[in-house]
Amino acid sequence: MKLNRLIFERIDHRILVGTVSFLAIMVLVGWIWINENARMAAFEAQYLARSIERGAELYGSSCSSCHGVDGRGALGVAPALDNPSLFGHDFLAEINAQVNTLSTERTAAEAQGNTTRVAEIDTQLADLQSQSDALVAQMQSAVNVGYDPAAPNRLVDLGWGSTLHNFVYSTMASGRPVSESYWPQPMPAWAQANGGSLRPDQLEDITNFILNWDRGDDWTIEDLNAVRQFAIYPINPATVPTGGQQDPPVGLDTSIDEIMIGLAEVTGDPQVGDQLYNGVVFGCAGCHISAAVAPPIEGTWTRVINERLLEPQFAGYTGEQYLAESITHPGAFTVPGYLAGVMPTNFGERTTFQQLADMIAYLKTQDQ
C-alpha cells in the first residue's frame, strides 16, 4: 500500500512537472516569436528609414535644382513630386461619389414618376455642387500653376498601369528625353545603364524618399496650393495646326530686327495662336493666367499700346515688335511689378516664325 501510494504520488508529480515544463516552453517560444516579429518589424523600419535618409541626400544633390529643395517643383522648370496629384489624392472624390449615387437614384425616381423625390434630390445635388464650387475656389492658386480639379490623378491621366513606386523609379532611371519639347530642360536619365550617374540601390533610396511624401488621406488643400508647378501634358506636336511645324526655330541669338524680317514673311493665325498660347506645348497661359505670376492675358495689346510703347526704350517700336521681343528675348525688358528671370528665355529656340506670328496675332486680339 505504502509503496503503491508512493508510485502514484510520483506519477502525479511527474505529470505535473511535465505539464508545467511544457507550458513554460510554449510560453517561452511564444514570447520569443512575438519579440522576433517586433524585432523584424523594427529592423525593416530602421532599414527603410536609412534608405530614406540616403535618398534625401541624393535628392538634394541630384534633383532639388529642378524639382525644388522641398519637392514642390519650380515654376516653368519642373513639376512637383511632393504633390497630392502625383499620389492620386482627389479632394473632390467624396462629393463626386455622392453626386453619382444621387444621380443614379434620380434616374430611377424619375422613371417611377416620383416627382417629390426628384425635387429632393435636385436640392441635394445643388447643395453638393456649391460645396464642390467652394472647394475648387480654394484651389485657385494650384489651378494657376497647372492643376486641373477635374483631372486630379496624374497616374490615371497618364494611363499608367503599374504602381507609383515603379513610375517614380522608371522615370528616374530612363528620364524623359521627349520632355525637351515642352520644358526648358528635359528630365535627365539617371540610371548608369542609361548613361546616368546613379546605381540601382541609389535609385531605390531616392524612390523611397519620394514615396515618403505620401500623406494618405491627410493631404490638405494647403499641400495642394503649396505646389509651385504641376505636370504639363504634351500634345502630339503633329496635331498642333501650325502650318509651319517643320520649319526651323527662330533661333536664340536672332536679333529683334532679323526676327521682324522673318515675321514679315508669314501671316499669323490668331486661332492657332490661341491654341499655342493656352495649350500645353508652350504653357504660356500656365503663368499668364494669374496676374500674380505674370502680366495677365486680358488686355495685353491695350497695355502694349498705352503703356509699354511709351517707355523710352521702345521709341520707334511697333506693338508687334514689342511682343516678338518680349517672347524671344524676355531679358530685354522686365514689366514693372514682375520678377525678371521667370519668363523662360528659350522660346526663341522652341518656336518657329509661324508660331511666333500666330501667338502675336492672338495677343493682338486681347485689346479690351
Distance CA 322, CA 308 (A): 8
- The grid coordinates listed for 46 are 530602421
89: exposed, middle or buried (C-beta count within 10 Å: 0-12, 13-18, 19+)?
A: buried
160 binds ligand HEC (CB under 6 A): no
- Whether 152 and 194 have beta carbons less than 8 Å apart is answered as no
314 binds ligand HEC (CB under 6 A): no
Per the rule left: phi > 0, alpha: psi between -120 and 50, beta: everything else, 64 is alpha
Please state the closest distance from residue 171 (CB atom) to ligand HEC, in A.
4
Contacts of 206 (CB under 8 A, 6+ apart): 55, 58, 59, 62, 63, 168, 172, 198
The residue among 109 and 359 lying less far from ligand HEC, judged by its C-beta, is 359
Please select the residue that binds ligand HEC; options are 72, 228, 303, 364, rule is CB under 6 A. 303
Distance CA 103, CA 109 (A): 10
The residue among 91 and 183 lying less far from ligand HEC, judged by its C-beta, is 183
- Whether 77 and 229 have beta carbons less than 8 Å apart is answered as yes
Please state the closest distance from residue 78 (CB atom) to ligand HEC, in A.
4
Distance CA 330, CA 255 (A): 12
189 binds ligand HEC (CB under 6 A): no
The residue among 91 and 213 lying less far from ligand HEC, judged by its C-beta, is 213
Residues between 33 and 52 that touch ligand HEC (CB under 6 A): none
User: Pattern of binders to ligand HEC over 104-123, x per CB under 6 A?
Assistant: --------------------
Contacts of 57 (CB under 8 A, 6+ apart): none
- Whether 297 and 366 have beta carbons less than 8 Å apart is answered as yes
The residue among 277 and 353 lying less far from ligand HEC, judged by its C-beta, is 277
The residue among 86 and 121 lying less far from ligand HEC, judged by its C-beta, is 86
How many whole angstroms from its chain centre is CA 59? Answer: 17
**How many residues form the binding site for ligand HEC (CB under 6 A)?**
50
176 binds ligand HEC (CB under 6 A): yes
Residues between 65 and 94 that touch ligand HEC (CB under 6 A): 65-67, 75-76, 78-79, 81, 86
171 binds ligand HEC (CB under 6 A): yes
The residue among 270 and 286 lying less far from ligand HEC, judged by its C-beta, is 286
Q: Which stretch binds ligand HEC (CB under 6 A): 42-50, 91-99, 176-184, 313-321?
A: 176-184
Q: From the CA atom positions of the chain, what is the Rg in Å?
A: 32
Contacts of 204 (CB under 8 A, 6+ apart): 51, 169
The residue among 130 and 306 lying less far from ligand HEC, judged by its C-beta, is 306
- Whether 314 and 301 have beta carbons less than 8 Å apart is answered as no
Binding site for ligand HEC (CB under 6 A): 62-63, 65-67, 75-76, 78-79, 81, 86, 154, 168, 171-172, 176, 179, 183, 185, 187-188, 190, 206, 231, 277, 282-284, 286-288, 294-295, 300, 303, 308, 323, 326-327, 330, 334-335, 338-340, 342-344, 347, 359
